[in-house]
Amino acid sequence: MNWIHPDIAGKRFVFECIDDGFTDFANEHCSGTCPERLLDELEETISLYHGEALPLRHDGAPTIWELETAHLQAHYMVYEHTIHVGSIASTRTNVAFESDDVRELLG
């Protein structure tokens, strides 16, 4: 049985990078996976595998975490009540959807 990571349990996911083009991104760069299913899978992956994520940045601001699967790479920040996903990238095509906040923090 898989256990939700305690740093993630009970928190609401906020996808900051989603816009009108996300459906096209899912269809073209994620093997035609429907957008809703893609987001559900990403939530589940972060919930279960946060312990394997790499901390990329921590300078007093919330840490940006990077988690990569066989198909996707995500950058997200863990807050008290929410998980803010700032970018989702296809590992197959290297095309990403990013929020301006994450892009600015990662430089």
Helix, strand or coil, per DSSP, at residue 22: helix
The backbone torsions φ and ψ at residue 54, rounded to the nearest 5 degrees and listed phi first, read -100, 130
Question: What pLDDT was estimated at residue 83?
Answer: 94
Give me the pLDDT at residue 107, please. Answer: 57
Domains and CATH numbers, the chain: 12-106 (3.30.2310.20)
Q: What average pLDDT does the segment 36-53 reach?
A: 90
Residue type, 39: L
* pLDDT band of 104, cuts 50, 70, 90: low
pLDDT digits (tens, 9 = 90+) for 13-37: 998 767 777 777 777 767 666 778 8
What is the pLDDT, as a whole number, of residue 1?
A: 57
Stated pTM of the model: 0.80
Q: Which residue has the higher pLDDT, 13 or 86?
A: 13
Residues 70 and 2: their CA atoms lie apart, in Å, by 18
Tokens 């957008």 sit on residue: 35
Q: Which amino acid is at 50?
A: H
What is the pLDDT of the chain when averaged over all its residues?
81
DSSP state of 32: T
